[in-house]
């Protein structure tokens, strides 16, 4: 992709309701967020980028996550995105503030929305006991962003965090789940059962794919919270505030890019999106964006 959506003097043209929403993740997990967006905001066009060459983000340093997120954001700006969705918990925890600051200079009219704050807010509202569990990647847990978001929403809530070192990789590797995956998930759920949590945040966009298994192991009275619905509401409000909701009456388009093997992305991604993916384009990072 090129920076064709920029003027010759390096400036961005005014945003239009017909411009696409840009979504990025480390792989196919963010397609669970895109699925919610496609259902909640069907008139919008979408461009999704999976940074599969750097997957999984949960094993990366905070500096690496910020670097990757900046490159992906600039790429989505280059293809004309009117709003950026960081559909990855690890990237949201490490880089959201950096991206907000970057966009103030690069594209002040473009909003960026992560998955972490909407999920934290939904969990606080859902919990009756004030004991909330978190299943997330090591990078997300180490960052402490969920603790801060939960405390900001309600200082009386207790958060029990469990770092799931290999769960996202297991889920992305494909189906069906074998006994090794079942035992791994059971081990991650044990501390949350011991803490008697009544709500659990699925702190990776991959984890909704094993929600049934998690529900069985945690108990039917435990509420599972993922970010999809909250992100969709945040996106809708952000676009409405800027008069950028697409008014078309027909369904919008969606297209996919990844930074590694496109065939593998398509094969696994169809299961996550629960809709046809169509063609997947392989792209390289970083993309130079004119200023």
Do the Cβ atoms of 209 and 271 come closer than 8 Å? yes
Cα–Cα distance for residue pair 185/136, rounded to 1 Å: 12
Q: Which of 43, 101, 39, 112 is nearest to 76 (CA)?
A: 112
- Residue 288 confidence class, pLDDT cut points 50, 70, 90: very low
The encoded tokens of residue 9 equal 């003097």
Residue 2 confidence (pLDDT): 35
Per mean pLDDT, which range of 70-79, 134-143, 235-244, 262-271 is the poorest?
Answer: 262-271
Length of the chain: 291
pLDDT of residue 222 exceeding 80, the answer is: yes
Residue 290 confidence (pLDDT): 34
Residue-wise DSSP of 126-167:
H-SSSEEEEEE-HHHHHHTHHHHHHHHH-TT-EEEEEE-SSH
Angle between helices 31-40 and 262-273 (to 10 degrees): 50
Mean pLDDT of 232-252: 96
Sheet holding 46-50, edge to edge: 111-114, 83-86, 21-25, 46-50, 254-258, 280-282
Whole-angstrom CA distances from 248 to 72, 117, 151 are: 27, 29, 40
- Residue 286 confidence class, pLDDT cut points 50, 70, 90: low
Residue 10 confidence (pLDDT): 57
pLDDT in tens, 4-25: 455 545 567 899 999 999 999 9
Residue 170 confidence (pLDDT): 87
**Phi and psi of 8, rounded to 5°?**
-65, -25
Q: Looking at the chain, which runs of residues are DSSP E strands?
A: 21-25, 46-50, 83-86, 111-114, 131-136, 158-163, 199-203, 223-225, 254-258, 280-282
| Biggest CA pair distance of the chain | 60
pLDDT of residue 291 exceeding 50, the answer is: no
Mean pLDDT of 187-210: 95
Residue 272 confidence (pLDDT): 86
Q: Which of 160, 131, 164 is nearest to 147 (CA)?
A: 160
pTM value is 0.88
pLDDT in tens, 22-71: 999 999 999 999 999 999 999 999 999 999 999 999 889 999 999 999 99
Percentage with pLDDT > 90 across the chain: 80
Residue 169 confidence (pLDDT): 86
Sheet holding 199-203, edge to edge: 158-163, 131-136, 199-203, 223-225
pLDDT in tens, 99-139: 999 999 999 999 999 999 999 999 999 999 999 999 999 99
The domains found in the chain, sorted by start residue, are 21-114+229-282 (3.40.50.1860), 117-226 (3.40.50.1860)
- Residue 192 confidence class, pLDDT cut points 50, 70, 90: very high
Residue 274 confidence (pLDDT): 84
């Amino acid at each position: 992709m090129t920076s064709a959506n920029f003027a010759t003097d390096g400036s961005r043209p005014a945003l239009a309701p017909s411009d696409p929403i840009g979504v990025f993740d480390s792989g196919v997990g963010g397609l669970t967020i895109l699925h919610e967006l496609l259902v909640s905001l069907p008139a919008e066009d979408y461009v999704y980028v999976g940074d599969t060459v750097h997957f999984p983000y949960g094993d990366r340093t905070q500096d690496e996550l910020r670097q990757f997120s900046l490159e992906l954001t600039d790429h989505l700006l280059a293809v004309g995105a009117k709003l950026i969705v960081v559909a990855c918990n690890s990237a949201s925890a490490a880089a959201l503030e950096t991206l907000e600051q970057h966009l103030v200079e690069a594209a002040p009219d473009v909003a960026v929305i992560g998955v972490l704050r909407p999920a934290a807010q939904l969990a606080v509202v859902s919990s009756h006991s004030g004991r909330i569990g978190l299943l997330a990647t090591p990078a997300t847990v180490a960052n402490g962003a969920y603790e801060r978001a939960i405390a900001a929403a309600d200082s009386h809530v207790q958060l029990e965090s469990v770092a799931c070192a290999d769960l996202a990789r297991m889920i992305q590797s494909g189906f069906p789940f074998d006994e090794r995956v079942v035992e791994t998930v059971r081990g991650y759920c044990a501390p949350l059962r011991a803490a008697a949590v009544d709500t659990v945040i699925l702190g990776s966009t991959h984890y909704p794919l094993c929600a049934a298994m998690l529900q069985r192991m945690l108990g039917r009275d435990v509420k599972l919270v993922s970010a999809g619905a909250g992100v969709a509401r945040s996106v809708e409000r952000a676009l409405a505030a800027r008069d950028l909701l697409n008014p078309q009456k027909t369904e919008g388009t969606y297209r996919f890019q990844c930074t590694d093997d496109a065939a593998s992305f398509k094969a696994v991604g169809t299961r996550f999106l629960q809709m046809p993916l169509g063609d997947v384009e392989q792209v390289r990072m970083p993309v130079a964006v004119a200023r």
